[in-house]
Protein backbone atom coordinates (compact mmCIF):
# COMPACT_ATOMS: atom_id res chain seq x y z
CA UNK A 1 0.00 0.00 0.00
CA UNK A 2 1.27 3.45 -0.90
CA UNK A 3 2.75 5.63 1.82
CA UNK A 4 2.26 9.38 1.82
CA UNK A 5 4.13 12.28 3.34
CA UNK A 6 2.29 15.58 3.58
CA UNK A 7 4.35 18.70 4.23
CA UNK A 8 2.66 21.94 5.31
CA UNK A 9 -0.53 21.54 7.31
CA UNK A 10 -2.63 24.53 6.32
CA UNK A 11 -6.22 23.96 5.21
CA UNK A 12 -5.15 22.18 2.01
CA UNK A 13 -2.36 20.02 3.41
CA UNK A 14 -4.30 18.96 6.50
CA UNK A 15 -7.33 18.06 4.40
CA UNK A 16 -5.17 15.89 2.11
CA UNK A 17 -3.48 14.24 5.11
CA UNK A 18 -6.64 13.44 7.09
CA UNK A 19 -8.56 12.23 4.02
CA UNK A 20 -5.75 9.82 3.07
CA UNK A 21 -5.52 8.59 6.67
CA UNK A 22 -9.31 8.13 6.91
CA UNK A 23 -9.06 5.98 3.80
CA UNK A 24 -6.57 3.72 5.59
CA UNK A 25 -3.27 4.96 4.17
CA UNK A 26 -0.06 5.55 6.10
CA UNK A 27 0.47 9.29 6.38
CA UNK A 28 3.44 11.16 7.79
CA UNK A 29 2.40 14.80 8.37
CA UNK A 30 5.11 17.44 8.77
CA UNK A 31 4.92 21.10 9.76
CA UNK A 32 7.28 23.52 11.47
CA UNK A 33 4.42 24.81 13.63
CA UNK A 34 4.03 22.69 16.77
CA UNK A 35 0.33 23.59 17.12
CA UNK A 36 -0.47 22.35 13.61
CA UNK A 37 1.39 19.12 14.35
CA UNK A 38 -0.37 18.69 17.67
CA UNK A 39 -3.84 19.24 16.26
CA UNK A 40 -3.47 16.63 13.50
CA UNK A 41 -1.55 14.08 15.57
CA UNK A 42 -4.51 11.85 16.46
CA UNK A 43 -5.76 11.73 12.87
CA UNK A 44 -2.66 10.55 10.96
CA UNK A 45 -0.10 7.75 11.39
CA UNK A 46 2.74 10.10 12.41
CA UNK A 47 2.85 13.86 12.87
CA UNK A 48 6.24 15.52 13.26
CA UNK A 49 7.47 19.05 13.83
CA UNK A 50 10.29 19.77 11.36
CA UNK A 51 11.59 22.39 8.96
CA UNK A 52 10.88 21.02 5.49
CA UNK A 53 13.78 23.00 4.02
CA UNK A 54 16.26 21.11 6.21
CA UNK A 55 17.53 18.23 4.09
CA UNK A 56 19.07 16.39 7.04
CA UNK A 57 15.81 16.59 8.98
CA UNK A 58 13.89 15.10 6.04
CA UNK A 59 16.49 12.35 5.65
CA UNK A 60 16.32 11.52 9.36
CA UNK A 61 12.54 11.19 9.08
CA UNK A 62 13.03 8.60 6.32
CA UNK A 63 11.12 10.70 3.82
CA UNK A 64 13.02 9.10 0.93
CA UNK A 65 11.16 5.81 1.52
CA UNK A 66 7.73 7.29 0.81
CA UNK A 67 5.91 6.82 -2.49
CA UNK A 68 4.19 10.18 -2.73
CA UNK A 69 4.84 13.60 -1.21
CA UNK A 70 2.33 16.43 -1.09
CA UNK A 71 3.93 19.83 -0.50
CA UNK A 72 1.60 22.57 0.67
CA UNK A 73 3.61 25.45 2.09
CA UNK A 74 1.54 28.36 0.88
CA UNK A 75 2.84 31.36 2.73
CA UNK A 76 6.50 30.75 2.01
CA UNK A 77 7.23 30.34 -1.68
CA UNK A 78 10.95 29.81 -1.34
CA UNK A 79 10.41 27.07 1.27
CA UNK A 80 7.89 25.43 -1.07
CA UNK A 81 10.45 25.39 -3.90
CA UNK A 82 13.38 24.32 -1.73
CA UNK A 83 11.42 21.50 -0.15
CA UNK A 84 10.31 20.24 -3.58
CA UNK A 85 13.91 20.30 -4.81
CA UNK A 86 15.13 18.34 -1.78
CA UNK A 87 12.38 15.72 -2.18
CA UNK A 88 13.26 15.15 -5.85
CA UNK A 89 16.96 14.95 -4.99
CA UNK A 90 16.04 12.27 -2.44
CA UNK A 91 14.45 10.44 -5.40
CA UNK A 92 10.85 10.57 -4.27
CA UNK A 93 8.96 9.11 -7.22
CA UNK A 94 5.96 11.42 -7.14
CA UNK A 95 5.84 14.93 -5.68
CA UNK A 96 2.66 16.99 -5.87
CA UNK A 97 2.96 20.65 -4.97
CA UNK A 98 0.38 23.32 -4.29
CA UNK A 99 1.30 26.53 -6.11
CA UNK A 100 -0.12 30.01 -5.60
CA UNK A 101 0.03 30.89 -9.32
CA UNK A 102 1.30 29.60 -12.66
CA UNK A 103 4.62 31.46 -12.47
CA UNK A 104 5.53 29.61 -9.30
CA UNK A 105 4.11 26.49 -10.91
CA UNK A 106 6.68 26.85 -13.71
CA UNK A 107 9.52 27.14 -11.22
CA UNK A 108 8.24 24.08 -9.38
CA UNK A 109 8.18 22.11 -12.63
CA UNK A 110 11.79 23.15 -13.30
CA UNK A 111 12.91 21.79 -9.93
CA UNK A 112 11.20 18.49 -10.67
CA UNK A 113 7.65 18.61 -9.28
CA UNK A 114 5.60 15.85 -10.91
CA UNK A 115 2.27 17.59 -10.53
CA UNK A 116 1.26 21.14 -9.64
CA UNK A 117 -2.13 21.96 -8.20
CA UNK A 118 -3.84 25.33 -7.93
CA UNK A 119 -6.67 24.56 -5.50
CA UNK A 120 -8.72 27.75 -5.87
CA UNK A 121 -8.36 27.87 -9.66
CA UNK A 122 -9.00 24.14 -10.09
CA UNK A 123 -12.03 24.14 -7.80
CA UNK A 124 -13.45 27.23 -9.52
CA UNK A 125 -13.16 25.49 -12.90
CA UNK A 126 -14.70 22.33 -11.50
CA UNK A 127 -17.70 24.19 -10.07
CA UNK A 128 -18.16 25.99 -13.39
CA UNK A 129 -18.08 22.68 -15.31
CA UNK A 130 -20.56 21.18 -12.85
CA UNK A 131 -22.89 24.14 -13.41
CA UNK A 132 -22.61 23.77 -17.19
CA UNK A 133 -23.21 20.04 -17.17
CA UNK A 134 -26.22 20.32 -14.81
CA UNK A 135 -29.44 21.56 -16.36
CA UNK A 136 -28.81 25.31 -16.28
CA UNK A 137 -32.56 25.95 -16.26
CA UNK A 138 -32.61 24.53 -12.71
CA UNK A 139 -30.89 27.65 -11.42
How near is the Cβ of 11 to ligand ATP at its closest, in Å? 3
Q: How many residues bind ligand ATP (CB under 6 A)?
A: 20
Residues 60-119 that bind ligand ATP (CB under 6 A): 72-76, 79
Where b means 16+ CB within 10 Å and e means fewer, 48-79 reads eebebbebebbeebebeebebbbbbbbeebeb
Near ligand ATP by CB under 6 A: residue from 5, 6, 21, 52:
52
Q: Is 10 in the site for ligand ATP (CB under 6 A)?
A: yes
How near is the Cβ of 23 to ligand ATP at its closest, in Å? 20
Near ligand ATP by CB under 6 A: residue from 9, 44, 68, 69:
9
Contacts of 105-113 spanning 24+ positions with Cβ under 8 A: 107/81, 108/80, 108/81, 108/84, 111/81, 111/84, 111/85, 112/84, 112/85, 112/88, 113/71, 113/84, 113/88
Footprint on this chain of ligand ATP (rule: CB under 6 A): 8-13, 30-33, 36, 51-53, 72-76, 79
Amino acid sequence: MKQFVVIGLGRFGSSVATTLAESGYDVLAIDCDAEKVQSISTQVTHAVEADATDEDALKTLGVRNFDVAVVSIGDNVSANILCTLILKELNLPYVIVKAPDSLHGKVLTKVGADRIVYPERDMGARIAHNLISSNVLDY
